[in-house]
Structure 1
Amino acid sequence: MWFDLHSGWTVRPSGESAVPPGIAAALAEGVPAAVPGCVHTDLLRAGLIPDPYLDRNEDDVAWIGHTDWHYATAFDAPEAAFSDDAVAELVFAGLDTVAEIDLNGEPLAATANMHRAYRFDVGARLREGRNTLAITFRSAIRHAQDRRAELGDLPSSGNDQPYTFIRKTACNFGWDWGPALVTAGLWKRCGLHVWDTAHLSGVRPLVGVADGAGTVEVRAGVARAGSDADGAPLVLHARVEGVEASVPVPPAGDGNGHAEAAVALRVPDPRLWWPHSLGAQPLSRLDVWLETGDGAVLDTWSREIGFRDIELRRGADAIGSEFTLVVNGTPMFVRGANWIPDDCFPTRVDAARYERRVAQARGAGIDLLRVWGGGIYESDDFYAACDRKGVLVWQDFLFACGAYPEDAGTRAEVGAEARDNVTRLAAHPSLAVWCGNNENYMGRHHWGWEEALAGRAWGAHYYEELLPAVVAELDPTRPYVPGTPFSTGPEHDSLDDDHGCVHLWEQWNRRDFTTYREHVPRFVSEFGWQAPPAWATLTAAVHDSPLAPGSPGVRHHQKAQDGNGKLQRGLATHFGAVTGIDDWHYLTQVVQARAIRTGIEHWRSHRPRCMGTIVWQLNDCWPVTSWSAVDSAERRKPLWYALRAAYADRLLTIQPRGGGLTVVAVNDSAEPWAARVRLRRMSPDGAQALEAVLELEAPARATAAVALPAAFTSADPATEFLVADAGGRRALWFFTEDRHLRHPAPSYDAAVRDTAEGHEVTVTARTLLRDLAVFADRLHPEAEADLCLETLLPGETRTIRITTPEPLDHGALTSFPVLRTIGDHA
């Protein structure tokens, strides 16, 4: 029996603290605390701190992370806990992070890992009637600093906080897209688990497909009560798709009453689970239960599983070493995005929000989300949404951008954390890849770590020994890769285009995005370009007057080193000088979208040498200028629409190759594509200088390419461009940057029609219109357009549908700065 302990909690500062004088008295006796939750959300709810997401309030709440916090509650122990055969355990699914637990005024345990669960036998400590439970959370910042002083400093990436010395969400300490909001609290459920005889301590279904049948090996941990360690026989049962089997549970073999049993099921002709880009997502209910020998049910466990086979091919080939994800025998070009925590305070992300976010990923054509190693192992709600939507998950273990200590205590914690989470997540068919770390090999190879380490351990034991051993033991159905980026082995350069997976950040940091085309990696697991959030999100969070690209609040919501400088250099390269917040906001979003489309189209055109892209990043955790496609208010940035186009099953693209230009038909659909390409050399007023028809035959899940005739590449770069059309797909090629084009000012007709959902804005081009957008959220924060960054040739018409809860002004909908195209400036 499970008894929640989620009510009656209060929180107050503990010991010496830096509480601002204005709220010290209000906090002295404690304020109500939500469990699950954290101290920031408790203080927000009590009205004692400003919203840290607004303006520069982040700085005003920094004291919270330097303070110890005391949580307390009282509860009545259930009668069942006092029966002769009962085992009563206090269970914490997640404690954030350095916790000292007292039960009835006596110390019970101390913990220091946010990423694992804890279970404590409290049968001898419970009192009949009222009990008190208190947890003191020590400052994670001070704890990490003390550990660093004890163990010696280790290099990390651009963050002076010692996040590698504590098993806590790294980005809590600040990142180049996130604030420093160092949390504390009971961030997952807690309660009393009262049981007798035995219970299921962990269930791992190992699911696969073999010889046309679905296979499930259910491995279950069984904990016996101490009084029954060698007692009555137990039987483990499992059932799926009408197939049932059972096995006796062997005697406990570890001296602590724990045993493991495995029952095998074989389902003939199963319906296969696929990522949405390859097929459907049928799910099957798997029921597991534990019985006594005479048929009394002791414990049950149920999940939805999917029958599929996952392989990651990393073997040597004629080029180097491939990196190809294979699902049910089908190699796939991964169309991915990176995932970070969706809120700095994870308990604010519920199942419905996960569902919406994964739906947005799928809507953009994304078929894999990589859960980044500086965040959290997500809630089961996240993986369940991915199961239903057919979005694969690449799961990093939680190591990112730093050297990690390998002392005995940290090793033990990492092992327990890994075992917890591999067991918890094993049932999800969407989970496809385990990965040891984010950018730690890159740091060792390219960030000067070797000299700073001076031969000391830095985390390799985890990535090369401990974690692969845990995966091999607990989840052998899934591939493991030591890190991202990663080549053929630990000593091989992690950024070798011919081997493994790479991250490409030189473009954002130092070079233009057009230089993506200088690289043809085997797999790109990170690359990205920044832009601000949607206008409604920005202006709700930043209240600078006047609002400007460099105003204080805008700067505060830009966490990347020289981030605004990099944005300005990107604008200057393509558009020249940009002044004013309206043009800056629009054009930075255009550059972001173009940058990502440039990379994706280039790499997709090189299938099968390159077999995947994972753009940085899908989502945000707060309102910020970042690399995201969906901002923290769930608004789709122009990048989202660009991803939808670049990740479409069929893509037409023009690429520079061999000193000329080539048109490539990329076909990631299951059927061949006979692409009849209409190729035109045009000027902005609609005049055609040249036209031809090219025939391309792209097999299923393959590409086809043809070089363009020289006459098409001898255009006047300032006044002409190329258009290729085939099967409803269009590719454009401009020979020079926008700032060098001699194009007339954009000219068009625009009309608005009211609909049941809002409005339709119909635009007819009289001249070339590049990157047409209607930013309806500037008129109402909930208004949204179905199209964005559309390019129209002279004479073409496009209708953009606007959904809005309230009618919008027609004139404003068709005027600057709501309706935008390249060339119309303030």
Structure 2
Amino acid sequence: MSQWRELHEGWTLQVVGEADGVPPEVADAAVPATVPGCVHTDLLAADLIPDPYLDRVEYDLAWIGRADWRYANSFDWTPDGSDRVDLVCDGLDTVASVELNGEVVATTQNMHRSYRFDVGGRLREGRNELVVTFASAQRYAEQLRDELGDLPGPNSATPEPFNFIRKMACNFGWDWGPVLVTAGIWKSIRLHSWSGARLARVRPVVEVDLGEGRDVATAGRVRVLADVEYAKAAPADADGDVSGDVKSGLTLTASVSGSQAEVAVPAGATSAEVELSVESPRLWWPHGHGEQPLYDLAVELSDGSEGGLDSWSRRVGFRQVELDTEPDDTADDEAGSAFTIVVNGVPVFARGANWIPDDCFPTRVDADRYRARLQQARDAHIDLLRVWGGGLYEQDTFYDAADELGILVWQDFLFACAAYPEESPIAEEVEAEARENVARLMPHPSLVLWNGNNENIWAWFDWGWQPRVGDRTWGEGYYLDVLPRVVGETDPSRPYWPGSPYSGTMGRHPNIDEHGCKHVWDVWNQVDYSVYRDYVPRFVAEFGWQGPPAWSTLTRAVHDEPLAADSPGVLSHQKATDGNAKLARGLAPHFPEPGNVEDWHWSTQLNQARALTVGIEHYRSHRGRCMGTVVWQINDCWPVTSWAAVDGDARPKPLWYALRKVYDPRLVTVQPRPEGLTAVLVNEGLPGGAATGVPAGGVWQTNLAVERRTFTGEVLGHWSTSVSVDPASTTSVRVPVDVATTTDPSREYLLVVAGDRRTTWFFAADKDLAYPAPEWDLEVSADGPVTRVTVSARTLVRDLALFADRLDPAAGVDDMLVTLLPGESHTFEITGLTRQVDVAEVGGRPVLRCANDTVTPAK
């Protein structure tokens, strides 16, 4: 039986060699080190550096990434009689030399993979010294760039050559992240004692026969593919004889849901396969489509002795996943082809968001933090997260949470926004990390798609790469050969797509509406967000609009006096090229120029929410042709003005509340179509019929009522009709001209009600509307941990928001962006307050804001 021993205690950290800018107090210090961890967090814990997330501290700490660092530890060892002892390093960040008792065991250069070294002959009874020295990742990348020749990619926002090292690219800075180049033992480091043989890798391939049932498959199968490593000697020789040192008579046993099977492992064989059959397993579904049953799969390698040799266990789910890219039913290529994720035979409209690393220092993201962030995603009706290619293959606990919450995961391989060399030593590292991580993640039913890269194929076409690259490699071989081969050989149960965006062939432009997945970035970078309506893509994998973080997040991180949208600290937490200028350009068509920093903060946050609402409602209104929207982005890694819906301190921005509304399974929206204003009802219910075995039902039968009203409440036009919306479909109804035509666009709007859903349509931009000064009555009451604030409107109040963090940084609120008609009321529930509040404190700016007050005087 194998034994594991963690080596996480007793580490010290110190800088080695010479590096510019190292403070004397750091140069002379041996700092207690936390493992897993990194240099920055250890120096921070030792009070040797200020918080890198505050003000402009990031720039003062650039020396950390250019220095070399040494982790040292000593431990006692007593021989335990095992055939072999390995040092297992689950994650070394990144360019490491590992020494045991003064002897170099190995060198590494990849953050994204694990390493295992046989150290049995180097261990000594008694005290042992273990040292891991990390060379500067920045200097290593620069050196390899100089050796192989520069390649395009890094720009003014990300100037570092991150494409020449297998490390989290956004550590080198991004248009939402700081340059904080880490080093350290970022995952577990352990000793593994074992004898005979071990399970080197286990790959469960899960397959189902859907049959006619809705939630239960006719049959399920798990093919367990196991790789075996032996402690001694080699496999059989040319005559078929096996060395006596090689363990023989091994058995591989697997069990799941009451089913068990075993096979004999031929003597010396390095792999074995065992297949399990499960009768009528319950199907795993994304949330909103069904439940998420998980089954314990256990695998054991045994030689007949008590306790066995090695074991492996994971949870799996029974579900089928496909990527439908079939051409439309026409010979005309311009008509396009599908890009639809199909789960258990059901096409899914992906209501998604992109995911970036949740912290610049990944070891600070534990299972609870993953769970909290994914719960925020699910609470906003998000059912797909795309793990972006400039970050990480996340920890297993991320995917565990996705499995349990029913959130689909689109996983990028780790290539983003740059040309990558395909020469040694990068090429070998790419294949090794891909094979390891595909095998590691494939048990998770939430994982539904492998994607080759982020924007690199698009860049080859549109970013001026071709003349710069010439006949050199740039990554195409990874995306079109290496990675699909690795997925096909390792994880044949899941689809692979070469890139995002990508149209299905290098013979077509990669970022078009008609084929594949598309990124829409001209809107944020160049034009108004109404231009989202000019596109009808098959699937939108990236689009977004910026907004600042919550006020408490911003003011915790930035201490400028006076604070302003363009004060130094605020600008240092705005990483996008011309980001503030783009915020101002995007604001100008819709809102007056803000008069102070608090108005700027509210207007730009509201504009962010409006922009994504316009885009998502438009794309969802074309459900069937467009089958997914993946907004950029759900989360942040630090306090920053960015595209995120949840900021770096985990506070939801107004955008998060907007996503919760616009991603609701049932949506009513008004869309300007060539034939006139049109009400579109979207129903994300499951389709029925014999083909899927889904029982009839889920039809949205409702009365649709449209009124043209004045801001004072006078009804100028009314129309209603009965509407039926089939599951997984839309119904469009043109609003009659007499109701849809305004006589005074500055004082009228449409109120559209469909059952318990409603929306509004305003005929002019906010800055051109004659909003009434907002008036309301307030009631505040406390009930245990919940404080309720009831707002009773005396005027039209559009997009009312209550900022609980302005009362208490620890507080949050259940709702935001609520539009009230005169005479209507809404109750907000605040949690997390550490004190009582009253009406006077809650009653106006900065706690209560609305669209009205962007154009009317302060109340």
TM-score category, normalised to shorter length = over 0.9
1:817 to 846, 853, 856: 846
Aligned to 1:12: 14
Measure the CA separation in 1 of the matches of 2:637 and 2:471: 37
Measure the CA separation in 1 of the matches of 2:574 and 2:197: 53
Measure the CA separation in 2 of the matches of 1:124 and 1:678: 80
User: Structure 1 residue 23: deviation in Å?
Assistant: 1.7
The SS at the match of 2:220 is strand
User: Structure 1 residue 523: deviation in Å?
Assistant: 0.2
User: Structure 1 residue 188: deviation in Å?
Assistant: 0.3
User: Structure 1 residue 558: deviation in Å?
Assistant: 0.3
User: Structure 1 residue 544: deviation in Å?
Assistant: 0.8
Tell me if the contact between 2:248 and 2:266 (Cα under 8 Å) persists in the aligned partners. no
Tell me if the contact between 1:721 and 1:735 (Cα under 8 Å) persists in the aligned partners. yes
Aligned to 2:65: 65
1:156 to 143, 153, 157: 153
Measure the CA separation in 2 of the matches of 1:59 and 1:252: 56
Tell me if the contact between 1:764 and 1:796 (Cα under 8 Å) persists in the aligned partners. yes
Alignment deviations for residues 281-338 of structure 1 (CA, whole Å, 9 cap, x no partner): 1111111111114565111111111110110101211431110000011101000000
- Give the 5 Å matches for 1:433-444: 433-444=449-460
User: Structure 1 residue 252: deviation in Å?
Assistant: 3.4
Taking structure 1 as the reference length, what is the TM-score of the superposition? 0.97
Measure the CA separation in 2 of the matches of 1:68 and 1:79: 33
The SS at the match of 1:315 is coil
User: Structure 1 residue 615: deviation in Å?
Assistant: 0.5
User: Structure 1 residue 7: deviation in Å?
Assistant: 1.2
Aligned to 1:165: 164
User: Structure 1 residue 19: deviation in Å?
Assistant: 4.4
2:229 to 216, 219, 223: 223
Query: Which amino acid is 2:4 matched to?
Result: W
Taking structure 2 as the reference length, what is the TM-score of the superposition? 0.94
Tell me if the contact between 1:685 and 1:766 (Cα under 8 Å) persists in the aligned partners. no
User: Structure 1 residue 157: deviation in Å?
Assistant: 4.4
Tell me if the contact between 2:154 and 2:160 (Cα under 8 Å) persists in the aligned partners. no
Tell me if the contact between 1:571 and 1:578 (Cα under 8 Å) persists in the aligned partners. no
Aligned to 2:352: 336
Tell me if the contact between 2:83 and 2:232 (Cα under 8 Å) persists in the aligned partners. no
Aligned to 2:752: 724
Tell me if the contact between 2:250 and 2:267 (Cα under 8 Å) persists in the aligned partners. no
Measure the CA separation in 2 of the matches of 1:429 and 1:527: 26
Q: Which moved more, 1:450-459 or 1:168-177?
A: 450-459
User: Structure 1 residue 824: deviation in Å?
Assistant: 1.8
Measure the CA separation in 2 of the matches of 1:436 and 1:525: 13
Measure the CA separation in 1 of the matches of 2:316 and 2:474: 37
Measure the CA separation in 2 of the matches of 1:294 and 1:620: 51
User: Structure 1 residue 573: deviation in Å?
Assistant: 1.3
Tell me if the contact between 1:572 and 1:578 (Cα under 8 Å) persists in the aligned partners. no
Query: Which amino acid is 2:824 matched to?
Result: E
Measure the CA separation in 2 of the matches of 1:668 and 1:195: 52
Measure the CA separation in 1 of the matches of 2:825 and 2:385: 35
- 2:707 equivalent to 1:680: yes
Tell me if the contact between 2:719 and 2:739 (Cα under 8 Å) persists in the aligned partners. no
Identity %: 55
- Give the 5 Å matches for 1:647-658: 647-658=663-674
The SS at the match of 2:651 is coil
Alpha carbon RMSD of aligned pairs, Å?
A: 1.2
2:319 to 298, 304, 308: 308
Aligned to 2:45: 45
- 2:535 equivalent to 1:519: yes
* C-alpha distance 177-20 of structure 1, shift in aligned 2 (>3 A): same
Measure the CA separation in 2 of the matches of 1:791 and 1:88: 66
Aligned to 2:138: 141
Alignment deviations for residues 322-358 of structure 1 (CA, whole Å, 9 cap, x no partner): 1000001110100000000000000001111011011
- 2:593 equivalent to 1:564: no
- Give the 5 Å matches for 1:58-97: 58-80=58-80, 83=81, 86-97=83-94
- 2:823 equivalent to 1:790: no
- 2:391 equivalent to 1:375: yes
Tell me if the contact between 2:710 and 2:747 (Cα under 8 Å) persists in the aligned partners. yes
Aligned to 2:466: 450
Query: Which amino acid is 2:165 matched to?
Result: I
User: Structure 1 residue 571: deviation in Å?
Assistant: 1.5
- Give the 5 Å matches for 1:738-817: 738-810=766-838, 811-817=840-846
Q: Which moved more, 1:801-810 or 1:371-380?
A: 801-810
User: Structure 1 residue 797: deviation in Å?
Assistant: 1.0
* C-alpha distance 290-52 of structure 1, shift in aligned 2 (>3 A): same
Measure the CA separation in 2 of the matches of 1:6 and 1:268: 44
Alignment deviations for residues 229-249 of structure 1 (CA, whole Å, 9 cap, x no partner): 643211111111100001112
2:643 to 607, 627, 634: 627
Query: Which amino acid is 2:134 matched to?
Result: F
User: Structure 1 residue 686: deviation in Å?
Assistant: 0.7
Unaligned runs of 5+ in 2: 212-217, 234-243, 330-334, 687-697
- Give the 5 Å matches for 1:397-796: 397-670=413-686, 671-715=698-742, 716-796=744-824
User: Structure 1 residue 704: deviation in Å?
Assistant: 0.6
Aligned to 2:195: 196
Q: Which moved more, 1:803-812 or 1:4-13?
A: 803-812
- Give the 5 Å matches for 1:343-358: 343-358=359-374
Measure the CA separation in 2 of the matches of 1:217 and 1:621: 38
Aligned to 2:694: none
Query: Which amino acid is 2:125 matched to?
Result: E
Query: Which amino acid is 2:44 matched to?
Result: L
Tell me if the contact between 2:639 and 2:649 (Cα under 8 Å) persists in the aligned partners. yes
Tell me if the contact between 2:94 and 2:167 (Cα under 8 Å) persists in the aligned partners. yes
User: Structure 1 residue 613: deviation in Å?
Assistant: 0.5
The SS at the match of 1:79 is coil
Aligned to 2:124: 127
Alignment deviations for residues 184-235 of structure 1 (CA, whole Å, 9 cap, x no partner): 0000001111100011111111112125111111111111121466432111
User: Structure 1 residue 713: deviation in Å?
Assistant: 2.4
Measure the CA separation in 1 of the matches of 2:195 and 2:586: 65
Measure the CA separation in 1 of the matches of 2:431 and 2:368: 32
The SS at the match of 1:573 is coil
Tell me if the contact between 2:248 and 2:267 (Cα under 8 Å) persists in the aligned partners. no
Aligned to 2:332: none
Measure the CA separation in 2 of the matches of 1:329 and 1:77: 55
The SS at the match of 2:583 is helix
* C-alpha distance 761-294 of structure 1, shift in aligned 2 (>3 A): closer
Q: Which moved more, 1:505-514 or 1:749-758?
A: 749-758
Aligned to 1:30: 30
Measure the CA separation in 2 of the matches of 1:13 and 1:393: 39
* C-alpha distance 793-157 of structure 1, shift in aligned 2 (>3 A): farther
Measure the CA separation in 2 of the matches of 1:397 and 1:249: 33
- Give the 5 Å matches for 1:239-278: 239-252=255-268, 259-278=270-289
Tell me if the contact between 1:751 and 1:814 (Cα under 8 Å) persists in the aligned partners. no
Measure the CA separation in 1 of the matches of 2:537 and 2:373: 29
Aligned to 1:283: 294
User: Structure 1 residue 408: deviation in Å?
Assistant: 2.8
Aligned to 1:256: none
The SS at the match of 1:417 is helix
Tell me if the contact between 2:196 and 2:246 (Cα under 8 Å) persists in the aligned partners. no
Tell me if the contact between 1:229 and 1:252 (Cα under 8 Å) persists in the aligned partners. no
User: Structure 1 residue 29: deviation in Å?
Assistant: 4.4
Alignment deviations for residues 139-174 of structure 1 (CA, whole Å, 9 cap, x no partner): 000000001111111010422210000000000000
Measure the CA separation in 2 of the matches of 1:703 and 1:11: 60
The SS at the match of 2:503 is coil
Aligned to 1:184: 183
User: Structure 1 residue 767: deviation in Å?
Assistant: 1.7
Measure the CA separation in 1 of the matches of 2:10 and 2:374: 34
User: Structure 1 residue 755: deviation in Å?
Assistant: 1.8
Tell me if the contact between 1:758 and 1:807 (Cα under 8 Å) persists in the aligned partners. no
Measure the CA separation in 1 of the matches of 2:567 and 2:675: 44
